[in-house]
Structure 1
Amino acid sequence: MGQQPEIQDIYPLSFMQEGMLFHSLLDHDSRAYFEQAVFTISGQLDRERFQKSIDAVFERYDIFRTTFIHKNVAKPRQVVLKNRPSRVQFHDISHLDEKAQDKYADRFRKEDKDKGFDLQSDPLMRVSILKKAPERYVCIWSHHHIVMDGWCFGIVMKEFLMIYQSLRDGRLPSLEPVQPYGKYIKWLMKQDRKEAEIFWKTRLADLEQSASLPKKSAEPNGELEQAVFTISEEQTNELKNIAARAGATLNTVFQALWGLLLQRVSRCDDAVFGSVVSGRPSDLAGVEKMVGLFINTIPVRVKSGSFSFLELVRHLQQETLQAEAYSYYPLYDIQAQSPLKQALFDHIIVFENVPAQREIENVSQAGSFDFAVEDFTMEEVTNYGCSIKVIPGNSLYIRLNFDTGIYDRVFMKNIETFLRHMMKSVISDPEMSASEIALLDACEARNMLDAFNRTETVEPPAPTLHGLFTRRAALSPHRPALRFPGGMLTYAELD
């Protein structure tokens, strides 16, 4: 019989960890919350030093030595082991030609993802190296989201690089003392859940309907597609100016725009969507340097009312600050306080304030490092059919991930057009009424109608644009419509 591992600590799961464990057990084949970073290493790589650096990271942070016990227990617990090795896989593919190398790497990434993680038995972070040339490697760094969020991944990678570099001189770097994740769990267990329940029940009271992006089906097919675009530096600065005038953040400005977009496609003036928040309590000492899962998903409610856009942003910022004290409250309990229950929202927005890839690439390229990290990509899968990631910088980078079985490709691609028009409108006049902000102007709407109708069966010409809308609405009376000055653009026109 093998020797039982020594236990260092045992404590409950955070609310978000409980949710991720539940989804993992509910659907064993799902790869929701599987995180996979892939990047190129250019330069000399010492395999032994690389392994020792990984070992040092595991020793430094207890979350990587944690197993999630859920079998034969009354309530799941996370158990921190004193030791938990993780062997770096190394594969030399330098004998293959470039095309074969790329094919091998793609297959390896897929197989690594298909393998997934057993939350009770596996180390929940693993690293593999594919050698393509003497000074060219591909690193595949995978972990389950239950052990850490994106902010933490940036911390871990930067420290890993520092450790690797210092070990060249036979020493470990001088790093700040680690604050254990269990300290956060203790803080979390002390929070007043009844007070949080009352807050969210009040916030979501009288909500009558969910606001969602139009769907072509309720059944996902598991195939994710992306719609990616960048807002110019000039327009990004203008949006930042609006945020400053409202005493708000750029994140709040984007949330206001997104809420209005949902209102237009859902034909309402009250919209709710999910927002992923950092979840790090400001009153917990050392929380900024802790490594673990802190994020939570909470609802954002946008009611345009009689507000101008600037007033809406200001109001939304105030509501965001009020919600911070209760952002730890589990989403399933928040949904229970809502009249809409599980139908409260069906997609999420992530505003990534500190992009891990940018920080990691900057660290690796600074100073006398043996190698540089390049071409960093991170694949993240959630249990939502649609997620929107917003990455700020000199320019605003926006990426929509959506399941092609649920959402229409054409409509999702047109979200870029809608957002660009809305941004242009509010930049031109931040004081304009929020209820008057349209997805398209009349000219853009006519062009969109013409473009899509060219591929359809020819109909007798309508005497007026209004007549065309009326006829098309009669053909699809239950499809949502997109508002713009002078009429409606039915979703049927986008099929």
Structure 2
Amino acid sequence: MSNVECRTDNKPTVQALKQPVLSLQQYELSPLQQGMLFHTLSSENSGVDMEQITMRLHEALDVSLFVEAWQHVIAQHEILRTRFDWEGAATPQQIVMPAVDLPVFEHDLQTQPPTAQRNFIKELRRTDRFTPFDLHNAPLMRLNIVQLAKTEFFVLWTFQHILLDGRSFPLLLQQVFATYSALLTSDTLIELAESRPFSDYIAWRAKQNFAHSEPYWRKQLAGFSAKTALDFGAAAQGAGANWGEVEVQLSAETTATLNNFAHAQNVTLHTLIQAAWSLLLHHYSGENDIVFASTRACRHWADDAASMIGLFINTVPMRVRVSDTQPLHNYLQTLRQQQIDLREHEHTGLNDIQRWSDIGRGETLFDSLVVYDNATLHDRMQAFAGFEQRDFAYNGQTNFPLTVLAYGGKQLLLRIEHQVSRFSAETAQNILDQLHTVLLNMLGRADTAALAIPYLSARDYHQLFDKWNQPISAAPTWAIHDKISAQAQLTPH
């Protein structure tokens, strides 16, 4: 279907990379990088931590100059030229190469009908996600450039999450397109603004005494000995994709209303998301003591950290205790204070945190992750001048059975990513609907007990009451407490 050209012929370079080069800069991994290295090696070809950014460019792209721009940016940032070595070393090392060639694959689909083009792109994204990188060899990224028409291009940028976090994406892409624009107009490479290398962050970590966080985490997790169950429903049946996602985008009006409600409670939209998720976990697990994972940006350690390229995020537990009578406004403020208190301890490695908890050896603290960002990648890119004809989207895959992603901005985007072996597409959609429902039902209920916030969606009611109206001979699939709960939600006051 496509004429494919790979612009990179780096076999000699790859062979050279396999030889130890003692003069190259190398340093240890951050705790999260170590975790990603472990997950990658233990779940090969699973797609875990394979990040993809797609770009729809409604312009006549000069592919040669576009690739040159990427190479220029890669030369600027050491993390983009980094490979990893863990064999025969006391601790895994990341090694910065002096130069690398970016693999670029071109596909010409201009003669194909739109349906064939869409099918090709869908399959390309799937196969590229499950084509692993050799972590011994840099760069741990590649480009697929698909020409759909004279002024229509699709670009797939696939890379290992071990290199970059979400705050780095727009910084790096802005530099690529700024360089491309300069090459296009004046045939000159611009001098990119200097930012500190990622190795500075690792050096900063090496000077910290994270043992001072041990009392905080021991107190925070004392008595919690079993992870919160995700009893949401059935897994998918039969063979198929191993990873799925569903999403919903709220209207600008609803998003503004949620932001205003959060502001009135002296909390953030992020707090509302975490509160809604913890309440949903309570309803399905039956537990009043909830723990889920939270991603922290971790860019407060230096004044200029916000401009740096690399992987600075960290995953830490959020423990939430709910009571039958606690008002929603108090519940939200308690969560918000925990978010603030966490800042001093957010760089602590997860292995240390688990070691300081009461969770049994070999067990995990959580099965779900909540990720919040103030805007989608597309919205962040649109903030730059000249990006009106360019569309961007991000998709990742974590090692958690279920990940909740929320992106603020003018229109809140909620996304559920899930392991299909644990949750079917229908189950994931139901989780998303109920998360959405909890958020909306918080509005105007600041003084209501948090546990009394209705969570069953319209689809739940339809399914629930349809089944109750079946003939008596039909086998019931809903317990009586579901009926009582549903009726209570219909008439909460």
- 1:347 match: 368
Question: Equivalents in 2 of 1:180, 1:482: separation in Å?
Answer: 58
1:318 corresponds to 2:337:
yes
Question: Equivalents in 1 of 2:487, 2:60: separation in Å?
Answer: 63
| Contact map agreement 1:151 1:354 (CA 8 A) in 2 | no
Per-residue CA distance 1:131-167 (angstroms, 9 max, x = gap) = 2222221111111000001110111111100011012
TM-superposed CA distance for 1:94, in Å, is: 2.2
Equivalent in 363, 383, 407 of residue 384 of structure 2: 363
Over 3 Å counting, the alpha-carbon distance change for 1:448 and 1:110 in structure 2 is: closer
AA aligned to 1:292 is G
The answer for unaligned runs of 5 or more in structure 2 is 1-11
- 2:214 match: 197
- 2:296 match: 277
Question: Equivalents in 2 of 1:482, 1:71: separation in Å?
Answer: 57
Question: Equivalents in 2 of 1:243, 1:141: separation in Å?
Answer: 36
- 1:465 match: none
CA RMSD of aligned residues (A): 3.0
Q: Which moved more, 1:213-222 or 1:341-350?
A: 213-222
Q: How does 1:325-474 map to 2 (within 5 A)?
A: 325-341=344-360, 342-363=363-384, 365-366=386-387, 372-374=389-391, 376-440=392-456, 447-452=462-467, 458-460=471-473, 473=479
Q: Which moved more, 1:105-114 or 1:328-337?
A: 105-114
Q: How does 1:152-231 map to 2 (within 5 A)?
A: 152-168=168-184, 169-207=186-224, 209-216=226-233, 223-231=242-250
Per-residue CA distance 1:461-482 (angstroms, 9 max, x = gap) = 99xxxxx8xx9549xxxxx969
| Contact map agreement 1:445 1:484 (CA 8 A) in 2 | no
TM-superposed CA distance for 1:228, in Å, is: 1.8
TM-superposed CA distance for 1:112, in Å, is: 2.3
AA aligned to 2:41 is L
Question: Equivalents in 1 of 2:214, 2:59: separation in Å?
Answer: 53
TM-superposed CA distance for 1:398, in Å, is: 0.6
TM-superposed CA distance for 1:450, in Å, is: 2.0
1:307 corresponds to 2:326:
yes
Q: How does 1:101-180 map to 2 (within 5 A)?
A: 101-168=117-184, 169-180=186-197
Question: TM-score with structure 1 length normalisation?
Answer: 0.86
Instruction: State the secondary structure of the residue aligned to 2:384.
Output: helix
Question: TM-score with structure 2 length normalisation?
Answer: 0.86
The answer for unaligned runs of 5 or more in structure 1 is 463-467, 475-479, 490-495
Question: Equivalents in 2 of 1:123, 1:416: separation in Å?
Answer: 36
Question: Equivalents in 1 of 2:377, 2:357: separation in Å?
Answer: 34
| Contact map agreement 1:215 1:406 (CA 8 A) in 2 | no
Q: Which moved more, 1:225-234 or 1:64-73?
A: 225-234
AA aligned to 2:230 is L
Question: Equivalents in 2 of 1:395, 1:89: separation in Å?
Answer: 35
AA aligned to 2:472 is E
Q: What number of residue pairs does the alignment pair up? A: 468
TM-superposed CA distance for 1:406, in Å, is: 1.0
Per-residue CA distance 1:2-48 (angstroms, 9 max, x = gap) = 76668541110011000000111112222100011122222122222
Q: Percent identity, please.
A: 26
Equivalent in 88, 94, 97 of residue 78 of structure 1: 94
TM-superposed CA distance for 1:211, in Å, is: 2.6
| Contact map agreement 1:227 1:413 (CA 8 A) in 2 | yes
